[in-house]
Chain A
Amino acid sequence: MNLSELLDNRDGQVYRLLFYDCRPLLQHILANYNINDSQREYDCIMDFYLYLRGDEEPFAMLTAIKSEKALPSWLKTVFSRFMARRANHDGQTDYSDSAFDKIPDDEEDSRIFTISDLNTAITLIEQINTSYSAPERVIFFADIDALASNRHSTDEIISVLHCTEGNLRVMRHRLKKRVQQTLAKLTTND
Chain B
Amino acid sequence: MTDTLIYKYAYNQCTPDERRAVRDMLVSDFSECFAVVGLMKTRAVNDIESSMLKAPALALAVSPKERRKTLEKGRRGLPDVDACKNAPAPKALPDIAYDEEMAEMSEPIMIKEQAFGMSMYFDEMPLQPAPDFLGILNRYLQSE
Contacts and interface: CB of A to CB of B under 8 A. Distances in A.
A143 to B, nearest CB: 6
B141 A17 contact: no
Interface of A: 1, 6, 9-17, 20-25, 27-28, 31-32, 36, 38, 68-69, 71-72, 75, 112-119, 121-122, 124-125, 128-130, 134-135, 137-138, 141-145, 147-149, 160-161, 173, 176, 179-180, 183
Contacts of A25: 59-62
A143 B128 contact: no
Interface in B34-57: 34, 36-38, 40-41, 43-56
A12 B47 contact: yes
A118 B84 contact: no
19 contacts: A9-B101, A25-B59, A28-B78, A31-B75, A71-B59, A114-B142, A118-B33, A124-B137, A128-B40, A129-B43, A134-B44, A137-B44, A138-B41, A141-B38, A144-B136, A144-B137, A145-B34, A145-B41, A148-B136
Contact of B51 (A13, A75, A160): A13
A116 B70 contact: no
Nearest to A14: B52
A187 B67 CA distance: 54
Nearest to B76: A36
B75 A148 contact: no
A176 B140 contact: yes
Nearest to B34: A148
Contact of B141 (A15, A141, A161, A176): A176
Interface in B87-112: 95, 98-99, 101
A160 B79 contact: no
Contacts of A72: 58-59, 61
A7 to B, nearest CB: 10
Contact of B49 (A68, A121, A128, A160): A160
Interface residues of B, number: 62
B83 to A, nearest CB: 10
Interface of B: 10, 12, 23, 26-27, 30, 33-34, 36-38, 40-41, 43-56, 58-62, 66-67, 70, 73, 75-79, 81, 84, 95, 98-99, 101, 126, 128, 130, 132-134, 136-144
A38 B27 CA distance: 43
A34 B30 CA distance: 51
A12 B48 contact: yes
A14 B27 CA distance: 35
Nearest to B11: A129
A148 B45 CA distance: 18
A96 to B, nearest CB: 16
A114 B101 CA distance: 29
Contacts of B26: 118, 122
A137 B75 contact: no
Given A9-B101, A13-B51, A16-B50, A118 B133 contact: yes
